[in-house]
Chains A and B, each alone.
Chain A
Amino acid sequence: MEDTVTTSTAWLVLGATSVLCFAIKVLGYFIPEAWLAHPRLQRVNALVPISLLSALVMAEGLVDKTRVVIDHRVGGLLVALALLFAKAPFPVVVVSAAVTSALIYHLH
């Protein structure tokens, strides 16, 4: 398997992500409520996961480095989309996407 990340980068990302995400959680238990009560902050914050997850779907499904590409992954993504419309459970969605993509990868 071709590694996409060096060992030191992997540890850096792991360490920094863990420390920061934990600090944020602890913050919620110790800061005064008023600090985070600003309506604009709450409105933006409610939308941040939507934007980031949407961008991640694209970056992982349709992008290779800095190019937009259509490859075997798109087939998997379309199957996932169809299954989500059909209200399929999460594991079914993920596994079906993987199987579809793998089939296209091997047949291509």
Chain B
Amino acid sequence: MRRRLALEAASYRSRSFDKNEIVRKPPRDTRRDALSVAVTVGAYGVAFGAAGIAAGFSVLQTCLFSLLTFTGASQFAAVGVIAAGGGALSAVAAATMLGTRNALYGLQMAPLVRATGIKRIMAAHLTIDESTGVALAQTPRGTIAMRYGFWLTGAGVYLFWNLFTLLGALGAKALGTPAAWGLDAAVPAAFLGLLWPRLTTTRLRVVAGTSMVFALLVTPWLPAGVPIIASVLVAVVFGWKTP
């Protein structure tokens, strides 16, 4: 194992990407990082499975979301807008806008992953918050650890996210009426849980608070689901000028 890694390291040092980077540790710590993220985040899949059913999607459709869309916030947004009584266009628009950050992650991961053909497409599908985050967190451990972290986290989250989506969907289906089991409150609580760790600065908290007030203020005036999309205006206003 170590010998193979040494060979890989040698071949990497000859390439242009991070050629001065020295592999300081074997990727055992990276594996621990990747797997703990994969299991923890994958478990959120239960909440998505339940949210899909609560919004009126079938078990099959809910599972296909996790297999094909595979980007948590977008999936939650799509079923969330539908659950709020919004139309298909609002649901797809909200999900797509939440997915745009994955393109920026792809830009960062492309030179690291250096894959071609089908492997490149697979890398793209696994490019989400967590795989990018773990990969970037491995920077001090070197390029190989970063690449390893990306693939292992991406594949691990994919496995657990889909497994737990199925469990959540089946569980919610068995429970019946969403309100009787509090599923209709679990969904906004899940959104709050997704939002919370992102609120790292006062400015971001102000953006979040403003978006919430704005969404409530425009609710009586716009069709259901549209206030969610309209809240992007708050992001545009705050992001327009350098803070």
* Residues of B with C-beta under 8 A to A68: 216, 219-220
**A12 CB → nearest B CB, Å:** 5
Interface residue? B12 (CB, 8 A)? no
* Residues of B with C-beta under 8 A to A62: 216
- Give Cα distance in the complex from A76 to B180, angstroms: 13
Q: Are B186 and A76 in contact (CB under 8 A)?
A: yes
Q: Are B68 and A29 in contact (CB under 8 A)?
A: no
**B196 CB → nearest A CB, Å:** 5
**B127 CB → nearest A CB, Å:** 5
Interface 9-mer from B18-26, B30-38, B97-105, B134-142: B97-105
Interface residue? B7 (CB, 8 A)? no
* Residues of B with C-beta under 8 A to A11: 61
Known: A18-B65, A76-B182. A67 touches B220 (CB 8 A): yes
- Give Cα distance in the complex from A10 to B78, angstroms: 10
Q: Are B88 and A47 in contact (CB under 8 A)?
A: no
Q: Are B124 and A25 in contact (CB under 8 A)?
A: yes
Interface residues of A in 3-39 (CB under 8 A from B): 3-5, 7, 9-14, 16-18, 20-22, 24-29, 31, 33, 36, 39
* Residues of A with C-beta under 8 A to B188: 56-58, 60-61, 73, 76-77, 80, 97
Q: Are A60 and B238 in contact (CB under 8 A)?
A: no
* Residues of B with C-beta under 8 A to A21: 69-71, 74, 95-96, 99, 102
- Give Cα distance in the complex from A16 to B222, angstroms: 23
Q: Map CB proximity to A onto B6-47 as digits: 1 under 8 Å, 0 otherwise.
A: 000000000000000000000000000000000010011011
**A39 CB → nearest B CB, Å:** 8
Closest partner residue, chain A, to B103 (CB atom): A28
Q: Are B106 and A29 in contact (CB under 8 A)?
A: yes
Q: Are A9 and B125 in contact (CB under 8 A)?
A: no
**B199 CB → nearest A CB, Å:** 7
**Cβ 8 A contact of A76, one of B43, B189, B198, B224:** B189
Q: Are A48 and B104 in contact (CB under 8 A)?
A: no
* Residues of B with C-beta under 8 A to A80: 185, 188-189, 192-193
Interface residues of A in 83-104 (CB under 8 A from B): 84, 90-91, 93-103
Q: Are B187 and A60 in contact (CB under 8 A)?
A: yes
* Residues of B with C-beta under 8 A to A10: 56-58, 61, 82
Q: Are A67 and B198 in contact (CB under 8 A)?
A: no
- Give Cα distance in the complex from A38 to B175, angstroms: 48
Known: A16-B88, A55-B212. A90 touches B239 (CB 8 A): no
* Residues of B with C-beta under 8 A to A98: 181-183, 185-186, 189
* Residues of B with C-beta under 8 A to A100: 182, 185
- Give Cα distance in the complex from A101 to B186, angstroms: 8
* Residues of B with C-beta under 8 A to A63: 84, 216, 219, 224, 227
Can you list 9 A-B contacts with CB-CB less than 8 angstroms, sorted by A residue number? A14-B68, A14-B69, A28-B105, A29-B106, A45-B101, A47-B234, A55-B211, A93-B192, A94-B47
Residues of A within 8 A of B (CB): 1-5, 7, 9-14, 16-18, 20-22, 24-29, 31, 33, 36, 39-40, 42-68, 72-73, 75-77, 79-81, 84, 90-91, 93-103, 105-106
> 4 closest A-B pairs (Cβ-Cβ)?
A28-B106, A76-B185, A101-B185, A98-B182
